[in-house]
Structure 1
Amino acid sequence: MAENGAPEGVQQPQVQMSVLGQFIRDMSFENVMAQKGVGADVQPDVSVQVALDAKKRSVENQYEVITKLNIESKSKDGSVVLFVLELEYVGIFNIAGVPEDQLHPFLLIECPRMLFPFLRRIVSDVTRDGGFPPLNLDNIDFVAIYRNELARRQQASAAEQPQQ
């Protein structure tokens, strides 16, 4: 046996991934605080929701991976919404050599991880340009998001099964 666990002489396919493009598909920033005329001395409490999606494109080995952020900043007591940022960020990837059974987690974990620094920069710039201190997102645990979504889907399918 070789070091990678494959029988001698059997080559594991080489994983290849390249980012062909990335762009903002949709973005909305609402400075609620300015609209309502709330004072600027409010202490913020920020919540970040992340959703992921991936689609096969018509070109072989090309995939579109979508990261959706919904960020809401409220006052610490929750009475005043300061701002809302909704962002849909897309990466187009060329991926080869990933086994079919590992492609789904690869698309929803590794691809968003590659794009995250760009996403973080956009969020920072938009919040700063919107009149707030730049919001520097903490690292996102894409593995945990993936596992939580799998668990949610399993629970949903179990709930749909007829009871005997």
Structure 2
Amino acid sequence: MTEENNNVAAQQEETSQFSLQRIYVKDLSFEAPKSPEIFRENWSPDVELDISTRQRDLEGDFHEVVLRLTVTVKTGEEVAFIAEVQQAGIFLLQGLDATSQAHALGAFCPSILFPYARETLDSLVVRGSFPALMLAPVNFDALYAQQLERMQAGADAQA
């Protein structure tokens, strides 16, 4: 039986495919509501990062994944700036079981998109005449696992 399972897994690996088709900026915004006055204040930033992802099925085995990063930076009580990017990608996923496909779309694809989004945000903030952000890497596998746990806990609570 084990040999049969190994053969099925090997056949699935041979027929499964993951490829990146395109990476693009879907939406981009920057707001510095207190400029130019904010540039004259003492710079002691408080950075808040909000991350979310969404995905939608396109034709065939193509999927769009959108990673949204929103950064709100305050100095004291004043909002210095708000920057947001929606970094998107089109991915081809073929021959994956439902669990593997959900993991790819929920964790692996956002991991691919994150460096692009981080660079776009950094460039945007610098163009606004603020110091570079240099956001730390994000563990999307851990975020995905937390999301699964919350969903499971919600399902258990309803049962």
Tell me which interval the TM-score lies in, with the shorter structure as reference length: 0.7 to 0.9
Runs of 4+ in 1 over 6 A off after TM superposition: none
CA contact (8 A) 2:25 2:85 kept: yes
Change (3 A) 1:10 1:153: closer
1:42 has 2:43 as partner:
yes
- Match of 2:77, SS state, is coil
Matches within 5 A, 1:1-164: 6-7=6-7, 10-14=10-14, 15-34=16-35, 37-38=37-38, 39-57=40-58, 59-75=59-75, 78-158=76-156, 161=158
CA contact (8 A) 1:22 1:92 kept: yes
CA contact (8 A) 2:50 2:71 kept: yes
**For this pair of structures, how many residues does the alignment match?**
155
Note the residue ranges of structure 2 that are not aligned, 5 or more in a row: none
Normalised to the residue count of structure 2, the TM-score between the two structures is 0.84
Change (3 A) 1:9 1:63: closer
Residue 63 (structure 1) shift: 0.4
| Aligned residue type for 1:50 | I
Structure with bigger helix share is 2
Paired-residue identity, % = 28
Residue 71 (structure 1) shift: 0.8
Once structures 1 and 2 are overlaid, which stretch shifts more, 147-156 or 127-136?
147-156
| Aligned residue type for 2:60 | E
Note the residue ranges of structure 1 that are not aligned, 5 or more in a row: none
| Aligned residue type for 1:70 | T
- Match of 1:60, SS state, is coil
| Aligned residue type for 1:153 | M
Residue 72 (structure 1) shift: 0.7
Change (3 A) 1:50 1:8: closer
Normalised to the residue count of structure 1, the TM-score between the two structures is 0.81
Change (3 A) 1:61 1:44: same
Change (3 A) 1:51 1:9: closer
CA contact (8 A) 1:66 1:89 kept: yes
